[in-house]
Chains A and B, each alone.
Chain A
Amino acid sequence: MLTGSYPRFTETLADPSLQLAIYTATGRLMDKRRATVMPEALPDYQELRNQAHLLKKHTLENLDYYLEQFQAALQARGGKVVYCKEGSEVVEFLAGLARERRAEVIVKSKSMTTEEIHFNERLAEFGVEPVETDLGEYIIQLTHQRPYHIVAPALHMTRYDVARVFQERLGVENETEPEKQTRIARRMLREKFLAADIGVSGANFLVAGSGAVVLVENEGNARMATTLPKVHVAVAGIEKMIPRAQDLAVFLKLLGRSGTGQPLTVYTSFLTGPRREGEVDGPEEFYVVLLDNGRTRLLADREKRESLFCIRCGACLNHCPVYRKIGGHSYPTTYSGPIGAILTPQYLGAKHSPWLPFASSLCGACAEVCPVKIDIPKILLDLRSEAVKAKRKDGENRVEAWSFKIWAWIMRHPRWYEAAGLAARAVLGSEDEGWLRRVPLWLRVGPLKEWLSRRDLPPPPERSFRQLWRSRLPAREE
């Protein structure tokens, strides 16, 4: 069933140091999360998850109301709202703004939504390339990669990789100490912050009643990007809405803990409009870009709507046995892991990567750790069923359908079953090694070839169960 392109997946599996890096990093994040959500640390954790789920459900079911409320509240504070159907509109808006304000430097804090629309690359075509300022994102941008993980973008890189990147791209000395590497980035980026004309951020939450953009971070780069430049533009998906400021008491407790095992991240900014009368600093202009990009289509699907509840904590990635083996770059788009497997086909249409919902063992770990209780395995199953139906319509999976028909028929006819077993053993022999690997070349054709390339079974025993049964039991009348 896994057909189509899967970038990077064999390389990742074959690279022992990368395997170790993914395994330790995600393992550490799992431990830290557990320590902050266990009953001794947060007695009402399950209650908070329920509340978060219900709040998101309520907001999305009345999203038009909250979008309008948000706009009215923000406008009353002097901020502006820009609606965009898709990425190109966001890029055009920013390019226009940059031209009008004669902006030369744009700084950017971490935002998955801008990654989703390939904001940096597309804006670079207009001659202004935003500078990423989150340390991980900065490194990733210097190497022209995409984030490996929702909260830890450079998770797959070692300090030696970073040293090489800094040497090549920044022209600094070879420096392999993370502490000193961070100093280098601080120095380089401080200059950018002070020179920047526009600061672009994402939004972790949009508070409808207050017209507020809420940003959660640890480094201080989001504060810099929203404090120093004259213009602040926040780019956010419309699903980021929550009704009131006090709902943050629920979401903030869950987000930091689920993401990095922090009861609260270092900085949480609650921003409503440009600087006010008398304030000495802060932006003079404040824009919030509300992006659709496939979200309204997903919203219309009652069954799978809850995919939009996601607050991008990354816990499902850390706990996913598949993500932990194949890593973030094996997923076809921005969002990786279980949440990526349900968001990507729904944002981009099932045709984009029909195999994605199958890249899961359905073990349920993702649903168990999800702070907003998205039933990811159920949605994966729904998407699988849709993919199969679509294929059937296209007549694509005729071979598979026939294979299963033959299989079912053999299973219902004991003599044929036994004969098939004997034949398989005769053809494949009994060896210590896995026996599917030994399927002769003349059988490895068409879809079988692909199917066999990554599958194996333990070797067959010398005698089948039926043979043993007959020899050990005293003869019995049939």
Chain B
Amino acid sequence: MSRDYILHKVRTAVGRSAGQPPDPPPEPRLRVPELSTEQRIEMFRARLESLAGRVAVVGAPSEAREYVAAMAAGKRAVASNAPFLTACGITSIPEVRSGFREPKALLDACTAADVGITSADYALADTGTLVMLSSQEEARAVSLLPPVHVAVIRRESLLTGLDELFSLVPEPDTLSSSMVLITGPSRTADIEQILVRGVHGPGEIHVVIV
């Protein structure tokens, strides 16, 4: 069997015997700087805007609803099943369809939609990144198929960066089968190094911080 053959070759190559535990791996140094929520918001905004993303900071859930309603007006929108979206009243916007539990129905809705609305588990200030763990509340396709992605997040979910994320979530596999970090709109520079947005994923990304 190839498995045993390869493992045997590896062991011979590095001079180890089966089952021998290794020394502990070197510890990566994770640094979490002290930043106030305001500083994190400003950092996140600056980073995401430099990537042509839009950031809106609102005081109340009702303002988030207004923002999303204005974006969805006259368009087809799909929202994930995140409880925070319902709490903000976003799922009651007339243009917004939500509550999909069937794979086929979700896929059809996302394929046809102009706007996909999600929340996010975390956001990273120093890179302008959204962290999405897929679950029954948060399907993968909503942030992927529609040409515009709107994420509505709580201000408390803003972390400083990758280091804080991995010290908070050292084992993402225990939470979900998929953790995706989204940093700005989908892009390519494959033709003559010219930047084009919206290749396969959304070409526009809006983050509403409540």
- Show the binding face of A for B, using Cβ within 8 Å: 21, 24-25, 28, 44, 47, 51, 54-55, 58-65, 67-68, 73, 77, 81, 83-85, 89, 133-136, 139, 152-155, 157-159, 162, 178-179, 181-182, 185-186, 189-190, 193-194, 207, 209-212, 218-221, 223-224, 227-228, 238, 243-250, 252-253, 260, 262-276, 278-282, 290, 292, 296-297, 299-300
For the complex formed, measure the closest distance between the CB of B183 and the CB atoms of chain A, giving whole angstroms: 5
Docked-complex contact B166 and A54, CB < 8 angstroms = no
Docked-complex contact A135 and B6, CB < 8 angstroms = no
Q: Please give 19 more A-B residue pairs, beta carbons under 8 A apart, in addition to A81-B3, A238-B10.
A: A25-B193, A62-B16, A64-B16, A85-B2, A135-B191, A190-B200, A212-B172, A218-B187, A220-B200, A223-B140, A228-B141, A246-B167, A249-B28, A266-B185, A266-B187, A269-B179, A272-B176, A272-B177, A290-B6
A83 and B3 contact, Cβ closer than 8 Å, known pairs A154-B190, A178-B191, A270-B178: yes
Closest B residue by C-beta to A209: B171
A223 and B144 contact, Cβ closer than 8 Å, known pairs A279-B139, A280-B102, A296-B10: yes
Docked-complex contact B29 and A47, CB < 8 angstroms = yes
Docked-complex contact A85 and B170, CB < 8 angstroms = no
Q: Let me know if B60 is at the binding interface, CB within 8 A.
A: no
Residues of B within 8 A of A84 (CB): 2
Docked-complex contact A178 and B192, CB < 8 angstroms = yes
Docked-complex contact B199 and A267, CB < 8 angstroms = no
A292 and B9 contact, Cβ closer than 8 Å, known pairs A227-B141, A266-B182, A299-B14: yes
A68, A211, A238, A278: the one contacting B173 at CB < 8 Å is: A211
For the complex formed, measure the closest distance between the CB of B199 and the CB atoms of chain A, giving whole angstroms: 4
Give 16 CB contacts A-B under 8 Å: A21-B192, A25-B193, A64-B18, A153-B190, A244-B25, A245-B172, A246-B28, A246-B30, A262-B183, A263-B127, A266-B182, A266-B187, A267-B181, A272-B172, A296-B6, A299-B9
Q: Let me know if B101 is at the binding interface, CB within 8 A.
A: yes
Residues of A within 8 A of B124 (CB): 264
Q: Let me know if B11 is at the binding interface, CB within 8 A.
A: yes
Docked-complex contact A276 and B177, CB < 8 angstroms = yes
A247 and B185 contact, Cβ closer than 8 Å, known pairs A159-B191, A279-B139, A296-B13: no
CA of A213 to CA of B145, assembled, Å: 22
CA of A158 to CA of B11, assembled, Å: 47
Q: Let me know if B89 is at the binding interface, CB within 8 A.
A: no
CA of A467 to CA of B102, assembled, Å: 93
B31, B162, B169: the one contacting A252 at CB < 8 Å is: B162
CA of A220 to CA of B30, assembled, Å: 28
Docked-complex contact A152 and B25, CB < 8 angstroms = no
Docked-complex contact A63 and B134, CB < 8 angstroms = no
Residues of B within 8 A of A223 (CB): 140, 144, 180, 200-201
Docked-complex contact B135 and A278, CB < 8 angstroms = yes
CA of A224 to CA of B126, assembled, Å: 26
CA of A128 to CA of B122, assembled, Å: 40
Docked-complex contact B140 and A227, CB < 8 angstroms = yes
A21, A59, A278: the one contacting B25 at CB < 8 Å is: A59
Q: Let me know if B186 is at the binding interface, CB within 8 A.
A: yes
CA of A294 to CA of B10, assembled, Å: 11
A185 and B180 contact, Cβ closer than 8 Å, known pairs A247-B28, A266-B186: no
Docked-complex contact A238 and B6, CB < 8 angstroms = yes
Docked-complex contact A73 and B173, CB < 8 angstroms = yes
Q: Let me know if B129 is at the binding interface, CB within 8 A.
A: yes
Per-residue CB contact flags for chain B residues 83-127 toward chain A (1 = under 8 Å, else 0) read 000000000000000001111001100010000000000001011
Residues of B within 8 A of A252 (CB): 162
CA of A194 to CA of B145, assembled, Å: 10
Within B140-156, which residues are at the interface with A (CB < 8 Å)? 140-141, 144
B13, B136, B191: the one contacting A154 at CB < 8 Å is: B191
Residues of B within 8 A of A211 (CB): 173
CA of A55 to CA of B27, assembled, Å: 8
CA of A196 to CA of B184, assembled, Å: 26
Docked-complex contact B200 and A281, CB < 8 angstroms = no
A210 and B11 contact, Cβ closer than 8 Å, known pairs A83-B6, A282-B134: no
Q: Let me know if B36 is at the binding interface, CB within 8 A.
A: no
A77 and B177 contact, Cβ closer than 8 Å, known pairs A185-B199, A280-B101: yes
Docked-complex contact B191 and A62, CB < 8 angstroms = no
A224, A247, A250, A262: the one contacting B144 at CB < 8 Å is: A224
